[in-house]
Structure 1
Amino acid sequence: MSQTALNLTAIAIFLMTMTALLGPMFNLSPTLPAIATFSLLGLATLDSFSLQGKGGTLVLDWFASFSPQHRDRIVRHEAGHFLVAHLLGIPVTGYALSAWEALKQKQPGQGGVSFDDTEVASQLAQGTISTQLLDRYCTIWMAGVAAETLVYDRAEGGADDRQHLHTVLSSLGFSAASVELKQRFCSLQARNLLQQNWAAYEALINAMRQRADVAECRNLIDSLTVTSSPVI
């Protein structure tokens, strides 16, 4: 069962427990907890087998949308990816800040930044990749976590980013220890880039909140960054 389905199951159990406890106080029918629970469990099952986790992600994202901090974390996380990718010369082609936007752009999760990854895909298809290009992409993948950590001291998102990095490095023959070293190194690189270009980062966050298009975001970064060319 996917993590999304597990989350839906947990919500179903929580709702069943709370409605069972509070139902008598508000004269709620005892059938309501059962209906709510079976509906959510049914959605979790359907989502696991038919929707590949997307339906559950939309539901969970809707619940999370009531938290301003959650939304702030998402935009800061994705802005970290966007800024670092642009600084390192990797073209950004789009971004999403909610599960619905991500679904429309055929991206997984509750948000994301899309890149023109033609070059890296071509090299990986041949079973090799230049050290410079690999370091750039690893730094971009870790930039969301780095951005969250700079603001909140810890990251809640980024599991998919870490998994992507681990999968790619493992496929290239990196040992587990080497993968961890690369992850830490690239996290530090991303952190440094963000700190050096903090004004551009904050401005980008505001632009992305207003759903500025990619070209506007790029121009904004170029007008404010102190690092205008790839440093890795």
Structure 2
Amino acid sequence: MMEEGQGSTGALRAGVAVALITCLGAFGPAIGISPAWIVIFVGGGLVALSVDAATWQGMGGHVLAEALPGGEARLRRIAVHEAGHLLIAENEQLPVQRVMVGTLACLQAGLRSSGATEFSVPESVRMPLEDLRRWSRVLQAGIAAETVVYGVARGGADDRALLGRLWGLSGHDVGTAQREQRRARREIEQQLRRRLQDLEIKAGDLLSLAPRLMR
């Protein structure tokens, strides 16, 4: 799953809004901006923030960024991440329920994220070692895909957290869990490098289906 640091983004957005309002109030009249325009600007900004919170759960900035001309590159990275999950899940024969690329797609599904691949829930959290290895490969595949294509991964915090919980509930010691996860990561990076063309094609297919504003 891709994440975009919603908490820090929200705090930054609020800080910028306060700073702009303060600057307008202090310096607007001095540089010839009418107080009426200041009121309109501030009111419009507050309305926009309220609509964002009510309609887009505070994620409107991400939705807008993905709709702008440079948004396709942003969406493509998300598509690469989710394509990695999808390819490895198919290889491991783990059923995938749905794949979402982009903040708008996730919000429409009721998720606060920029991308997600949903799997069928395991029947038991205490899985055999081989099943844990399969999940280790699938859940780290998004991070591995980004690493293969871009050199570094930005998303995947939720994937790592879920994988950590699965291993934590498994009864295996920490050393075994860390060793198995590192091995799984190496295996899938090697596999995705060999299947780079398949990864690019799958990402392109997902990108073509990603909803965007005004499209």
TM-score normalised by structure 2 residue count: 0.76
1:179-215 Cα deviation digits (max 9, x unpaired): 4333322221221221121221111112112229xxx
Query: Share of identical aligned residues, percent?
Result: 22
Instruction: Describe the shift of the 1:132–1:6 C-alpha distance in structure 2 as closer, same or farther (beyond 3 A).
Output: same
SS at match of 2:171: coil
Which segment drifts farther, 20-29 or 103-112?
Answer: 20-29
Instruction: Describe the shift of the 1:34–1:137 C-alpha distance in structure 2 as closer, same or farther (beyond 3 A).
Output: same
Note if contact 1:143-1:187 (Cα within 8 Å) is conserved in structure 2.
yes
1:161-194 Cα deviation digits (max 9, x unpaired): 1111111111223444444333322221221221
Runs of 4+ in 1 over 6 A off after TM superposition: none
Q: Which of 90, 96, 100 is 1:92 aligned to?
A: 96
| Number of the residue aligned with 1:36 | 45
| Number of the residue aligned with 1:8 | 10
CA distance in 2 between counterparts of 1:35 and 1:207 reads 38
| Number of the residue aligned with 1:71 | 75
Q: Which of 150, 170, 173 is 1:172 aligned to?
A: 170
CA distance in 1 between counterparts of 2:133 and 2:57 reads 34
Instruction: Describe the shift of the 1:201–1:26 C-alpha distance in structure 2 as closer, same or farther (beyond 3 A).
Output: farther
Note if contact 1:13-1:37 (Cα within 8 Å) is conserved in structure 2.
no
| Number of the residue aligned with 1:158 | 156
SS at match of 1:202: helix
Q: Determine if the alignment matches structure 1 residue 17 to structure 2 residue 19.
A: yes
| Number of the residue aligned with 1:133 | 131
Choose between structure 1 and 2 for higher RCO, CA contacts under 8 A separated by at least 6 residues: 2
CA distance in 2 between counterparts of 1:38 and 1:178 reads 52
Note if contact 2:76-2:204 (Cα within 8 Å) is conserved in structure 1.
no
Long gaps (5+) in structure 2? 211-215
Between Structure 1 and Structure 2, how many residues are aligned? 196
Instruction: Describe the shift of the 1:132–1:99 C-alpha distance in structure 2 as closer, same or farther (beyond 3 A).
Output: same
SS at match of 2:78: helix
Note if contact 2:76-2:203 (Cα within 8 Å) is conserved in structure 1.
no
CA distance in 1 between counterparts of 2:101 and 2:176 reads 32
How far 1:20 sits from its partner (Å)?
A: 4.2
How far 1:14 sits from its partner (Å)?
A: 1.4
Instruction: Describe the shift of the 1:141–1:20 C-alpha distance in structure 2 as closer, same or farther (beyond 3 A).
Output: same
TM-score normalised by structure 1 residue count: 0.71
Give the counterpart letter for 2:115 in structure 1: G
CA distance in 2 between counterparts of 1:12 and 1:38 reads 13
Q: Which of 133, 145, 148 is 1:147 aligned to?
A: 145
Long gaps (5+) in structure 1? 213-232
Q: CA RMSD in A?
A: 3.1
1:98-119 Cα deviation digits (max 9, x unpaired): 22322333545211112234xx
Give the counterpart letter for 2:150 in structure 1: Y
